[in-house]
Chains A and B, each alone.
Chain A
């Protein structure tokens, strides 16, 4: 019996016949959307050069990605927007005065060395944007740690007559300056990298990612909680249990790192338990570096170190299969 509109050749494929609709491209686009508030905050606080810096980093990343695929003759992966995310994250992790050519070298390092040398999206073992930030920090320490005061005029070439200012974390560490108020820190009226200053803007983006189920709270919550506990216990001037938790949470790149970089799928564990261990590890390392290390900020190094541990964490946190039984002797046994 012929039925109208029934195709002569039906698709006979195996189950399941439906998909969630979430795609790599969609996820990357969501991350870009979630970073926009932080970028806008950066532009409002540090001026239009922040936007130009972001444009430079994003276009450099995309061009390097495209060029590399061209050179090694593999299908172009520009369409998945992962290079856009890397470029944007890199820009948000730089001071607004960063010379453009250095930013471009950062993008080259992130895309070509960290990502493509290891096989492209899904195969890199470190977060490309953070690895590039670490690379730039070791190569050009001075421009990477030049901070300008909020709302000072920064010219296009960066070497402005802007008022320099220490970040809250370096004030905590090295003294020399007055700590800003909690409200200023929450809104972002402090010195720092383009995208890390405004906790408010970052939280808006984080809520968006959580609502779209791009990320869940396992890593960010365990990361931030661990840092909070460590800082509270060991971070105070008046002995144990006197640390100023709020100041530490609102300063530096902690919120940016916890929600946007420690949650990078590729470089973090895939087991649920492993993700919590990863978050705790990041929190421990971040607070150790902040409290006792040589740098005022430790978020990026701690994530990079934990990135390297991710495969190992996965190996030791394989979930127990459903219906797994322990034998009476306590040893494990497959029923």
Chain B
């Protein structure tokens, strides 16, 4: 309550310029290397691999057979349950295999393999609408048909987000331009180069929920993006689109923390953003909504930042989904240092790859190549009780105590310490001067709790 009224007071006083949450950390953002580099269209060669599981939910079902010729934008995997997403080919070519292939997660996943014929012939695509004629249900159908998911990394199907159950009224639509992970500049470049599509996507979402007010939240380390988006937002007559500057702090782009910063509302523990009437959407996903509705184009491209200290020439690419990461590394002039770690996504929450020969999927915001220096051997030292993990935890948990409780296998204490509220942002591990990894223990603890409750 006090926090809420404080926020109200700040707004009354006009002090709501830079908004944020409590806790969090300030890593070096490392964005200088790619933030001025225009997005380049990438043309893949050879085989493209489309895993049928690229999203949260059930994997898609294959709807082509080996030997078929497919066009760009043609559906190759069909969602067969509500929480799932369609998969489309991003190139024209021939289906050469339907088999298990290595997935960025490290597992082998059933995938459709397509040999690119380089002709880039497009499927006629879906029905195209104009803004005035499209109905809310048609927007949801188009999003579902286009296979749009949250492209920040989690890849949660967007049509599910857009269809809240009866009785849940969405009042705040927030487009997430925080991009708080170091190195990443894909959303930043998208905002600079495609502001119209983002605004169009936001307007569609607002129309869907019957709103006239919407938000675009951008971290203060992207002043040019704030400027461009504000200019475009101010051109809208019928819709009030507010571009809000949020503090440059990790994890500012976390859904719950962005809602907190923009609206002052806290999503209650264990609840969803829709429970406070909010919906957060990724920049690229938002633009994809506009492309699906107005151009009838499914989700087949995404923007990938290729960076890291070992990359010769870091760049931003618009990449057809299914392209192998190794081709992206080569397009950046290869590696300049012996590389011992490849990461899909940001350095805080991204996934370490076991090979470069895995495909770009819908949630791949970046590929980072780190040299040996960035991946030193670490030995855990004694906890100093410095409290940096406690101060840094955006969920206000006690990572040090959680670690102790996991070591003691004390499940009751783990629940008392609210272990399931952890969003696994890694802030505790990042700040620990004793080089401990509380998050590793917390993950173990979460698994134990899940197993115990079975």
Which residues of chain B are near A17, meaning CB under 8 Å?
341, 343, 347-348, 350, 352, 368, 370, 374-375
Report the minimum CB–CB distance from A186 to chain B (whole Å): 31
Does more than half of chain B's interface fall in helix, strand or loop, or is it mixed?
loop
Within 8 A of B (CB), among A1-51: 1, 3-7, 10-20, 22-24, 26-27
Residue with the highest number of chain B CB atoms closer than 10 Å, among A14, A19, A320, A334: A19
User: Known contacts being A122-B382, A321-B397, A335-B271, is A24 close to B434, with CB within 8 Å?
Assistant: yes
Query: Number of contact residues on B: which range applies?
Result: 35 or more
Which residues of chain A are near B433, meaning CB under 8 Å?
20, 22-24, 26-27
User: Known contacts being A15-B426, A16-B439, is A335 close to B336, with CB within 8 Å?
Assistant: no
Which residues of chain A are near B426, meaning CB under 8 Å?
15-16
Q: B310 to A5, Cβ gap below 8 A?
A: yes
A14: nearest residue on chain B (CB-CB)? B440
Q: Mark B422-437, 1 if CB is under 8 A from A, else 0.
A: 0010100111111100
The stretch of B74-82, B171-179, B353-361 in contact with A is B353-361
User: Known contacts being A20-B430, A335-B268, is A270 close to B341, with CB within 8 Å?
Assistant: no
Q: B269 to A334, Cβ gap below 8 A?
A: yes
Q: B350 to A12, Cβ gap below 8 A?
A: no
User: Known contacts being A272-B387, A334-B269, is A318 close to B398, with CB within 8 Å?
Assistant: yes
The stretch of A137-145, A248-256, A298-306, A322-330 in contact with B is A322-330
A123 at the interface (CB under 8 A from B): yes
Q: Mark B261-278, 1 if CB is under 8 A from A, else 0.
A: 000001111110000000
In the complex, number of A-B residue pairs with CB atoms less than 8 Å apart? 191
Residue with the highest number of chain B CB atoms closer than 10 Å, among A11, A121, A323, A335: A323
A59 at the interface (CB under 8 A from B): no
Q: Mark A268-291, 1 if CB is under 8 A from B, else 0.
A: 111110010000000000000000
Which residues of chain A are near B266, meaning CB under 8 Å?
322-325
Which residues of chain B are near A156, meaning CB under 8 Å?
none
Number of interface residues of A (CB under 8 A): 48
In the complex, which of the residues B269, B330, B334, B336 contacts A322, with contact meaning CB atoms closer than 8 Å? Answer: B269
A267: nearest residue on chain B (CB-CB)? B385
A120 at the interface (CB under 8 A from B): yes
Q: A11 to B334, Cβ gap below 8 A?
A: no
Which residues of chain B are near A271, meaning CB under 8 Å?
387, 390, 398
Q: How far, in whole Å, are A8 and B352 apart by their CA atoms in the complex?
A: 14
In the complex, which of the residues B267, B356, B395, B430 contacts A18, with contact meaning CB atoms closer than 8 Å? Answer: B430
Q: B339 to A123, Cβ gap below 8 A?
A: no
Which residues of chain B are near A16, meaning CB under 8 Å?
347-349, 426, 429-430, 439
Report the minimum CB–CB distance from A322 to chain B (whole Å): 4
A102 at the interface (CB under 8 A from B): no
Q: How far, in whole Å, are A13 and B271 apart by their CA atoms in the complex?
A: 30
Within 8 A of A (CB), among B246-262: 256-257, 260
Q: A322 to B421, Cβ gap below 8 A?
A: yes
B242 at the interface (CB under 8 A from A): no
B305 at the interface (CB under 8 A from A): no
22 inter-chain pairs at a CB distance below 8 angstroms, sorted by A residue, are A1-B327, A3-B356, A5-B339, A6-B329, A6-B335, A6-B339, A13-B341, A14-B439, A15-B351, A17-B347, A17-B374, A121-B381, A121-B382, A121-B384, A270-B385, A272-B391, A321-B269, A321-B396, A322-B266, A323-B270, A323-B421, A326-B1
Sample of 11 more A-B contacts, CB < 8 Å, known A7-B340, A12-B106: A16-B347, A26-B433, A122-B382, A265-B385, A265-B386, A270-B398, A272-B387, A321-B269, A321-B396, A323-B395, A324-B268
Chain A residues within CB distance 8 Å of chain B:
1, 3-7, 10-20, 22-24, 26-27, 80, 119-123, 265-272, 275, 318-326, 334-335
